[in-house]
Amino acid sequence: MTRLFFYALAVTLLIVTIHACDLLETSDPYPEGKASVRIVHVAPMAPSVQYFHKEDVVFTGLGFGDVTEYVDVPVGRNPDGFLDADGDTLIFRDDLAGNFLDMRFLDYERNFTVFAIHGGAATGNVHIRSMEIEPTPNAEGQVRLRVLHAVSDAPAVDIYLTEPGGSISDENLFLLGIGFNNEGGDAATAPAEMPLYFPTDPGTYEVKLTAAESSEVIFSQEVVLDASRNYTMVIFPTEANDDVDRVMLLPDN
1: in domain: no
- Spatial separation of the C-alpha atoms in residues 116 and 109, rounded to whole Å: 23
171: in domain: yes
21: in domain: no
My answer on whether 117 and 170 are in the same domain is no
One digit per residue, the tens of pLDDT, for the chain of length 253 reads 544 444 444 444 343 333 333 333 334 444 466 888 999 999 998 889 999 888 889 999 999 999 999 999 988 777 788 888 887 666 665 444 444 444 556 766 788 899 998 876 655 677 778 888 877 766 778 899 999 999 988 899 999 999 999 999 999 999 999 998 886 544 333 334 567 899 999 999 999 999 999 999 999 999 999 998 999 999 999 999 889 999 999 999 8
Which amino acid is it at 89? T
Torsion of CA 40, 42, 45, 47, to 10 degrees: 0
Structural domain of 58: 34-132
Phi, psi of 19 (to 5 degrees): -65, -40
- Which of 97, 132, 167 is the last residue before a domain boundary? 132
3: in domain: no
In this structure, what DSSP letter does residue 82 have? E
- Which of 111, 132, 153 is the last residue before a domain boundary? 132
pTM of the model: 0.78
Number of domains in the chain: 2
Distance spanning both ends of the chain, measured CA to CA: 68
70: CATH: 2.60.40
DSSP line for 32-55: T-EEEEEEEE--TTS--EEEEETT
My answer on whether 88 and 177 are in the same domain is no
Which amino acid is it at 131? M
- Spatial separation of the C-alpha atoms in residues 36 and 110, rounded to whole Å: 6
My answer on whether 116 and 175 are in the same domain is no
My answer on whether 123 and 220 are in the same domain is no
My answer on whether 74 and 117 are in the same domain is yes
